[in-house]
Amino acid sequence: MSAVAPRARARRRARRAPNGAVPRRLALGGGAAAAGSLHRLRAEFERYYARALPSAAIVPRRLHAAIRYSALSPGKRVRALLALTACESVGGDWRRALPAAVAVECVHAFSLVHDDLPAMDDDDWRRGRITTHKKYGEAMGVLAGDALLAFAFEELGRLAEHGVPAPRALQAVRVLARASGSEQLVGGQVLDLEAEGRRATGPRVRAIHRRKTGALIAAAMVLGGIAGGGTAERLEALERIGRELGLAFQIHDDLLNRRSSLSRLGKRAGTDDQRGKATFPRAVGEERARREAQRLFRAAIGRIVGFGPRATRLARLAVAVAERER
């Protein structure tokens, strides 16, 4: 029997699976054991992350306390885990991608701190705690976000210390810089602000979500692939998967914002509709938005399964993202 046939059947089964997930025996690679493996990976990352960030004892202490408060708040660490498991999926040791994982988490934390500011979304709660500017003041919120963005690139520069060749480390810097900048993440925030109170359309919402959320998720996966020594073809595949996952992730987030609660979501629910945000449910309706998220999750997870056994933890992570409730 051809070695390609089982893989092709796996992709077909992934596309038929309900709720945007692949069958568990394919994606999870051992059920609870695989889930536990992801938990252990996250714990390893959390330890490295806490050590990498500047100590709150360093002057100016209030700034560094705000940085650590923002970065180490109890988030899901999806982007960091995507970087680590993408590194594994191309045959690399996940430890080589640790600086990249820290870098994408710092960029994400910067974006959340600034997103919550009064001039932006003016939110009081994030990840079950009061937002950085509410705890430390608006000026310190701006500066903590600025410092997190700068620190992301300082940390990314440590890839070489983890065995990543210098040309690949430079490639990683370019990838993250583009994903964080005016044409992607920051540009997506601008489009999001400009769309408030206007009629939401599918194309408009896709343009926002692909930049504001999808770009950094795709970058996380590409950074992992770069650190792991992936080929250009494999990096391109990881970027495509990341774009699909990122759009699905944000559509799912739009749906959670409508139906969840502060205690479950960690931030106030219903705020998107109150502000007239351009969300997918508002543009096309909840049912169609749910179907689109499921379609994108299935497509992304099916592609991951096609990577083979080395992508088991990446597949398990993608399923967890599809099934999340916060």
* E runs forming strands in 42-199: 125-126, 129-130
Residue 125 pairs with which residues in a beta bridge?
130
CA atoms of 248 and 293, how far apart (whole Å): 5
For the stretch 123-181, pLDDT in tens is: 998 988 999 999 999 999 999 999 999 999 999 999 999 999 999 999 999 999 999 99
List, in sequence order, the alpha helices (H) in 228-285: 232-259, 262-265, 271-275, 280-284
User: Which residue is listed with tokens 């029997």?
Assistant: 1
Q: Residue 269: which domain range?
A: 4-323
Which of 241, 242, 235, 277 has its CA nearest to residue 258?
Answer: 277
The secondary structure of 9-63 as a DSSP string is HHHHHHHH-GGG---HHHHTSSTHHHHHHHHHHHHHHHHHHHHHSPPTTSSSHHH
Query: What is the model's pLDDT at position 268?
Result: 58
Q: Which residues of 41-75 are buried (b: 16+ CB within 10 A; e: fewer)?
A: bbeebeebbeebbeeeeeeeeebbbbbbbbbebeb
Q: CATH number for the domain including 92?
A: 1.10.600.10
Cα 116-285-318 angle, rounded to 5 deg? 65
CA atoms of 148 and 104, how far apart (whole Å): 10
Query: What is the model's pLDDT at position 262?
Result: 56
**Reported pTM:** 0.87
Query: What is the model's pLDDT at position 27?
Result: 38
Q: How many domains does the chain have?
A: 1
Query: What is the model's pLDDT at position 18?
Result: 33
Which of 102, 306, 281, 311 has its CA nearest to residue 209?
Answer: 281
3-state secondary structure of 69: helix
Cα dihedral angle (313, 317, 322, 326), rounded to 10 degrees? 160
3-state secondary structure of 272: helix
Query: What is the model's pLDDT at position 269?
Result: 55
Q: What are the structure tokens assigned to 19, written together? A: 């709720």
For the stretch 276-308, pLDDT in tens is: 788 999 999 999 999 999 999 999 999 999 999
Query: What is the model's pLDDT at position 304?
Result: 98
Q: Collect the ranges in the chain with pLDDT lower than 70.
A: 1-35, 260-270, 272-273
Q: Residue 153 in contact with residue 159, Cβ under 8 Å?
A: no
Residue 129 pairs with which residues in a beta bridge?
126
